Amino acid sequence: MATQTSVKAGTRNKTAAKPPATDPFKVTGPEPVITVATNSEFPGITGRLVKIYADEAAEYLTLNHTPRPRKQRNQDKIKRAIRVGQYIVDGIAICFEAGTGLLQNGQHRFFALVDAQREEDLEAAAQGREPVRLWIGTFVVEGLPSAARSTQDTNAGLSAKDWLTMSGHSYAGLLASSCKLIFQYETRDNDRGEPGGSTLAAGNTEVDEVIARHPEILVICKKVAAWAGKHKNMKGLPPSVAAFVMWLATYQDLYAGWMFMQRIYDGAVPDPASPVLAFRDKVQTAFTNRRITKLTALDITKWLILAWNEHAQGLPAREVTKAKNGTKARDIPDMYNGPKRGLHADPSHWEDMLDAVLLAKRLGLLPGHSEDL
């Protein structure tokens, strides 16, 4: 008769085979194949591992630094690591631009190195000793295209405004916000199908693509910025909303859309029943009573589109007057689509509307559409 061997709880059978030791970093199965690129495939781009001293970092920052926002917390963290000798090569490269030699990525490390050396110099002077010459080891990549900046510096939170500023655009904040609204409007059918826009977020790449598709937004933002700066009593109207709705309106009728937004800002409308005046009154009242009235950008967008729809059809103010707060994306109405699309202006006024003429050119209305002029 077979006998059973009892094992006390909590004890291990010493004769049991131990599991084989495993290496968590060992590659099982076929090893991956890495294809080495040739210089002809990426001409002008080179990379190397280097030592950079503080004086060299300071020179790069003085001569070749592309202005970007910095996060002091990130910089201080790197500085502390350098001071105590714990900075490691993490594989994130310092990047320089082709042609200009501009520093694209790595400013936090350079500023941190400079600050660390400054502190070391002060401490050494106080202790009566020679300062240690600090340096960091890092990979450096040179010869990158300027477009590479749009995907770099994620640790510093490079916003669309910062990116557009670096790219040389004026009114970068207004332009970034307006492009994001256009992106949401254009992608609405790909998301929830609501006319008020999608929930998709526009990053720097998407903002660049909007500008490439609709360069007229550059002219619109320029003009809206000028109007907003001149007419301070319209502070309740976010310039990005004005630019977005003006962009929509000028696609229906360039001249009418242009003049509509100008009248929204200056209020030069003789008809007291005009939807333009009704919109201005609602926005100014809501802004004055903003502690009582919770007004959102969606509310103002809805009111402004309603004002345009009634204005474009020659109707007195009705819907815009009755519109309430608490607008959701699905509540944003469609733009009235009139029969005309062109620059319907008296040529004698063109000198006062040079930006409108430029806008017409960007929209492809000049030349070849002289019948619309």
pLDDT in tens, 280-296: 999 888 888 775 567 78
Q: Which domain holds residue 86?
A: 46-156
Predicted pLDDT of residue 303:
92
Q: How far apart are CA 315 and CA 318, in angstroms?
A: 8
Structure tokens at 91: 């594989």
Q: Say whether both 179 and 297 belong to one domain.
A: yes
pLDDT in tens, 83-117: 988 888 888 899 888 888 888 888 889 999 999 99
Residue 150 near residue 102, CB atoms below 8 Å: no
296 belongs to a structural domain:
yes
Q: At what angle do helices 275-288 and 297-312 cross, to 10 degrees?
A: 160
pLDDT in tens, 247-279: 988 877 777 888 899 999 999 998 999 999 999
Q: In this structure, what are the phi and psi dihedrals at residue 133, rounded to the nearest 5 degrees?
A: -85, 110
Q: How far apart are CA 182 and CA 52, in angstroms?
A: 44
Q: Say whether both 118 and 211 belong to one domain.
A: no
Q: 38: burial class by Cβ within 10 Å (0-12, 13-18, 19+)?
A: exposed
Predicted pLDDT of residue 20:
52
Give the bridge partners for 47, in sequence order.
Answer: 141
Regions in the chain scoring below 50 on pLDDT: 1-15, 24-25, 27, 154-155, 190-197, 342-352, 366-373
Residue for token digits 């990549």? Answer: 141
The domain that contains 89 carries what CATH number?
3.90.1530
CA distances from 12 to 3, 20, 22, 109 (A): 19, 17, 21, 53
Q: How many domains does the chain have?
A: 2
Helix (H, G, I), strand (E, B) or coil at 361: helix
Q: Identify residue 63 by its one-letter amino acid code.
A: L
Structure tokens at 301: 């967008």
Residue for token digits 């309603």? Answer: 306
Residue 372 near residue 344, CB atoms below 8 Å: yes
Predicted pLDDT of residue 8:
43
Q: What is the pTM of this model?
A: 0.59
Q: Say whether both 111 and 238 belong to one domain.
A: no
Q: Say whether both 230 and 302 belong to one domain.
A: yes
- Domain's final residue, options 124, 156, 188: 156
Predicted pLDDT of residue 194:
44
Q: Say whether both 263 and 324 belong to one domain.
A: yes
Q: Say whether both 264 and 360 belong to one domain.
A: yes
